Amino acid sequence: MAQLESADVVVVGTGVVGCLIAEQLLDAGHSVLMLEAGPRVERWQIVEGYRNRPPITTTNLDAAYPPTRWAPFLDSTSTTTAADYLQLEGPNARAYRQDYVRYAGGSTWHWAGICWRLTPEDMRLKSLYGVGRDWAFDYATLEPYYTRAEHALGVCGPSEPELQWPPIRSKPYPMGRLPFGPGEQKFTDAAARLGLKNLPSAQARNSGVAYDGRPPCCGNNSCIPVCPIGAKYDAASSLPRIEAKGGKILVNAVVYRVETGPADQVQAVHYFDPDRQSHRVTGKLFVIACNGIETPKLLLMSADARNPRGVANSSDQVGRNMMDQPKLVAAVTLAEPAWTGVGPVQGSSIMQTSQGDFRGEHAGALFRFNNMARSRLGAMQALKKGLVGKALDAEIRKLSACTAELTLEHELLPDPNNRLTLSDKKDALGIPKPNIYYDVGEYVRKSAEVYSTPLVKQLAHEMGATDVAVTTEFTNSDHIMGGLIMGANPADSVVDVDCRAHDHPNLFLPGGGAMTTAGCGNSTLTMAALALKAADAMVAQLTHA
């Protein structure tokens, strides 16, 4: 075993959370070492990889990110490959088929860039509605970190309070909103006729101007799987800046053990290189930020005599309360063109439907128009009809323009039975694969039955739909939350209000795993806010030391 590296702060994971923390600590004058399980690639490689995938993979949005042998993740190429890494079970196993990327930069490469905040009510489910949990602090505590996160990521959004979500802000967005394309405008107009407001999304995409060294968005409509010009925040632009500030990034370093010592301190992390040679890295503070699945997995794998249930797991809550926003999709055929593929792939949502007293009985839901260009899907469908000549072109145009997808994403309650454990199946390095039991529960199922599905049908008909088919099987939204749940009580939670492990004073576990409740919106901005709050605590802790 070789010991090669040491730093004040060792950060495992190079996604949005790891990068934000690394930069904060570097700015405060501390040395930082980042460890990334996967490889480092350049933007053009992802773009070319995407363009060189056949049309049938259009909806397989992670196809441009083939997993490496040593850092596997879910491969959606087929149902067979999809079943290889994540071991899923339970009534809604399919709904936890989470897409994430184990590359330098993590899933920031292929996130949509959407930056919703939680509302004050989202953080007080138990007090207000008698379900789920309350956060250990309120919205007012988180708000300054939301604002910092919006400026760190470069988030654009509307300046009008009536279009903001929630309209409780201490500062404006750093940039104004992006325009709607025709499809999102049609959806907005239909919603308005039903008394609903489709809001321009807050999104980490440069709107009309350059920001933070990134160019303005030009509507390339490939935010997922990659922004070809870097207008969207992705950690690919953070990593060189971290290195310029003196941070060190080791790639292809698969951390497999968190080593603890006396006084519950974490002393080191151990990683395998692709040849399974082991290396030990020491530091003063440790951050495990390799997403809501890989982080609990690593903690459970690190069980030792002092921590028989796993590191940071005296509460037995590590890997429990796994959350996401269970998704349904309405496939809509319209009499008149809606048009997709104009502007970013996502740009708006109806959010007010996530709130209400009904939350005591069933989940709320977010509704949005999927703006990914449907030209390839239209062409594939038209060709299957055996058409030729002008009839083929007309059918492609019609199917591309007059079909659409409306997405419904539901709020899931934290449930300790939704649990990640270690599978007895191993990956190529001999590391256990994650096993996850998942049941969306009656709270979500009832919402789909009495609330969200009826409402999306109304929306579709208001748009002029001639046919609406709503899926009944829940699928993943890729917003991995809950497995390191935050709370004030060490007996029923994993981390404290600064994402510090209750059990280990120098171990921080920030990100989606720490989120106490999920809300209906995309989780990244809350993850980023928690990262900045944790970074402040780490700087204070190092200064005090």
Query: In this structure, what DSSP letter does residue 365 have?
Result: E
Task: For the CB of residue 490, give the shortest distance to another protein in the complex, in Å.
Answer: 41
Does 197 sit near another protein (CB under 8 A)?
A: no
Does 275 sit near another protein (CB under 8 A)?
A: no
Tell me the per-residue interface mask from 118 to 157 with another protein, x by CB under 8 A, - otherwise: ----------------------------------------
Tokens coding 47? 């773009």
Task: For the CB of residue 279, give the shortest distance to another protein in the complex, in Å.
Answer: 20
Question: Which of 6, 68, 423, 541 touches another protein (CB under 8 A)?
Answer: 68
Tokens coding 446? 């009832």
Does 55 sit near another protein (CB under 8 A)?
A: yes
For residues 9 and 429, which CB has a smaller minimum distance to another protein in the complex?
A: 429
For residues 207 and 517, which CB has a smaller minimum distance to another protein in the complex?
A: 207
Task: For the CB of residue 403, give the shortest distance to another protein in the complex, in Å.
Answer: 12
For residues 177 and 362, which CB has a smaller minimum distance to another protein in the complex?
A: 177
Q: Considering only residues 24-43, where is the footprint of another protein by CB under 8 A? A: 39, 41
For residues 338 and 365, which CB has a smaller minimum distance to another protein in the complex?
A: 338
Task: For the CB of residue 334, give the shortest distance to another protein in the complex, in Å.
Answer: 11
Task: For the CB of residue 229, give the shortest distance to another protein in the complex, in Å.
Answer: 8
Collect all residues with Cβ–Cβ distance below 8 Å to 88 and sequence separation of at least 6.
Answer: 94, 96, 97, 435, 436, 438
Does 428 sit near another protein (CB under 8 A)?
A: no
For residues 397 and 461, which CB has a smaller minimum distance to another protein in the complex?
A: 397
Closest to 95 in 3D by CA, of 518, 479, 522, 526: 479
Does 185 sit near another protein (CB under 8 A)?
A: yes
Does 69 sit near another protein (CB under 8 A)?
A: yes
Task: For the CB of residue 178, give the shortest distance to another protein in the complex, in Å.
Answer: 6
Question: Which of 6, 31, 220, 458 touches another protein (CB under 8 A)?
Answer: 220
Does 541 sit near another protein (CB under 8 A)?
A: no
Query: In this structure, what DSSP letter does residue 514 have?
Result: G
Does 343 sit near another protein (CB under 8 A)?
A: yes
- From residue 79, alpha-carbon distances to 381, 407, 478, 487 in Å are 22, 22, 17, 37
User: Three-class SS of residue 334?
Assistant: strand
Question: Which of 57, 282, 423, 475 touches another protein (CB under 8 A)?
Answer: 57
Total chain residues near another protein (CB under 8 A):
77
Task: For the CB of residue 223, give the shortest distance to another protein in the complex, in Å.
Answer: 9
Strands (E), 228-310: 248-250, 254-260, 266-272, 278-288
Does 47 sit near another protein (CB under 8 A)?
A: yes
- From residue 115, alpha-carbon distances to 140, 276, 353 in Å are 18, 38, 17
Round the CA-based radius of gyration of the chain to a whole number and report it.
Answer: 22
User: Three-class SS of residue 411?
Assistant: coil
Segment interacting with another protein, rule: CB under 8 A, options 126-134, 236-244, 340-348, 480-488: 340-348
Question: Which of 87, 238, 340, 349 touches another protein (CB under 8 A)?
Answer: 340
Cβ atoms of residues 193 and 348 within 8 Å: no
Q: Considering only residues 476-535, where is the footprint of another protein by CB under 8 A? A: none
Query: In this structure, what DSSP letter does residue 501 have?
Result: B
- DSSP-assigned letters across all residues of 417-461: TS-EEEEEEE-TTSPEEEEEE---HHHHHHHIIIIIHHHHHHHHH
Does 67 sit near another protein (CB under 8 A)?
A: yes
From its phi and psi, is residue 499 left (phi > 0), alpha (psi between -120 and 50) or beta?
left
For residues 225 and 510, which CB has a smaller minimum distance to another protein in the complex?
A: 225
Which residues in 240-277 are b (16+ Cβ under 10 Å) and which e?
Answer: ebbeeeebebbbbbbbbbbbbeeebebebbbbbbbeee
Segment interacting with another protein, rule: CB under 8 A, options 66-74, 278-286, 424-432, 459-467: 66-74
Does 160 sit near another protein (CB under 8 A)?
A: no
Question: Which of 16, 239, 258, 338 touches another protein (CB under 8 A)?
Answer: 338
Tokens coding 345? 């792939």
Does 208 sit near another protein (CB under 8 A)?
A: yes
Q: What is the 3-state secondary structure (H, E, C) of 122-157?
A: HHEHHHHHCCCCECCCCHHHHHHHHHHHHHHHCCEC
Does 209 sit near another protein (CB under 8 A)?
A: yes
Helix (H) or strand (E) holding 536: helix 524-544
Segment interacting with another protein, rule: CB under 8 A, options 118-126, 221-229, 457-465, 497-505: 221-229
Let me know the angle formed at the C-alpha of 471 by 108 and 344, rounded to the nearest 5 degrees: 35
User: Three-class SS of residue 343?
Assistant: coil
User: Hey, which residues are catalytic here?
Assistant: 479
Does 93 sit near another protein (CB under 8 A)?
A: no
Q: Considering only residues 368-427, where is the footprint of another protein by CB under 8 A? A: 372-376, 378-380, 383, 386, 388-390, 392-394, 396-398, 400-402
Question: Which of 226, 288, 330, 436 touches another protein (CB under 8 A)?
Answer: 226
Virtual CA dihedral for 155, 158, 160, 163, nearest 10 degrees? Answer: -110
Question: Which of 22, 23, 50, 200 touches another protein (CB under 8 A)?
Answer: 50
Report how far residue 411's alpha carbon sits from residue 413's, in angstroms, rounded to the nearest whole number: 7
Question: Which of 3, 59, 78, 543 touches another protein (CB under 8 A)?
Answer: 78
